[in-house]
Amino acid sequence: MTNLLSRRDILKWTAVVGSTALAQPATLLAQDKKGPLLSVQLFSVGGDCGRDFDAALKQIAEMGFDGVEFAGYYKYGGDPAGLRKKLDELNLKAAATHIGAGSFSGDNLKKTIDFHRTIGCKFLIVPGDWRFTNADKSKEYADFMNKTAEALKPEGLFTGHHNHTGEMMIAEGDKMWWDLFAERTSKDVVLQQDMGHTMFMGIDPTALVRKYPGRTKTTHIKCRPPKGSKGKKPFVGDDCFDWKAYFTACTEVGGTEWLSLEQEEYPDGKSAMACTKISLNGMKNILKEMGK
């Protein structure tokens, strides 16, 4: 089966950390409130980040997010200490990062560990890899992720994979590529489900969280109604999905520490920041109703 790469996927997959290694590691995330924390995948506001990264982070903090998930580091690529200082200044945590698998190979591994320990980021997620849906290479990729997880574990770090739609296609029999990867990897490899892409494929995201207990340590929250859905807009909280069931599964079964909002559609001429805030408010309203 051919795995088609979108421009968006390629942009995410090529994020590379800087090479500066600092001797003083930062304290990693401490869960300081009940239930998962709320972050935003910064690809949601990528245009704003490209124009003025510090200003974009400030706007995100003012919205009320607990943390951010990175898709590149802009001017901080070689300055993890500077990035940590900026996050602390804004009272934001480094929830996770999207990073290419090559960042775990050879000499890159130590640089990657040093950078992410410095900024206090423990979830290093690969947002797609062509081997995932390649019949000849999928097991090789799973083995690579297992070895990476073993190398990161003593450092208090985790790796994992983030899905798009291709991972939810059938690989063999009635098994999706996602299932094969989950079976071939250890419980230390995070399954960062983008439930919006899963939703779009007509598959129940909640069932997948429950199918693989403890492996949804971080998950993307996105409203992406399946084709044919009418009258629904791509905002979290729009009446197109049982959000409470998903959040409950994440809390009860998934081991979820971060609910990471990703807004990729901007209807009605609204800005990326405005759309992101609409979905954040939707998330907060649902969680409030749940007593979270």
The answer to whether residues 178 and 150 touch, using CB atoms and an 8 Å cutoff, is no
Q: Encode pLDDT of 96-121 as tens digits.
A: 999 999 999 999 999 999 999 999 99
Residue 126 lies in a domain: yes
Q: Encode pLDDT of 144-188 as tens digits.
A: 999 999 999 999 999 999 999 999 999 988 899 999 999 999 999
pLDDT of residue 34: 67
Residue 275 lies in a domain: yes
Residue 134 lies in a domain: yes
Highest mean pLDDT among 6-20, 32-46, 59-73: 59-73
Q: Encode pLDDT of 58-79 as tens digits.
A: 999 999 999 999 999 999 999 9
Residue 113 lies in a domain: yes
Residue 56 tokens, joined: 């974009």
Residue 1 lies in a domain: no
Residue 85 lies in a domain: yes
Residue 26 lies in a domain: no
Could you tell me the residue range of the domain that residue 232 belongs to? 7-21+32-289
Residue 103 to residue 119: CA distance in whole angstroms: 16
pLDDT of residue 227: 78
Q: How confident is the model at residue 33 (pLDDT cuts 50, 70, 90)?
A: low
Residue 27 lies in a domain: no
Domains: count for the chain: 1
Q: How confident is the model at residue 292 (pLDDT cuts 50, 70, 90)?
A: confident
CATH assignment of the domain containing 151: 3.20.20.150
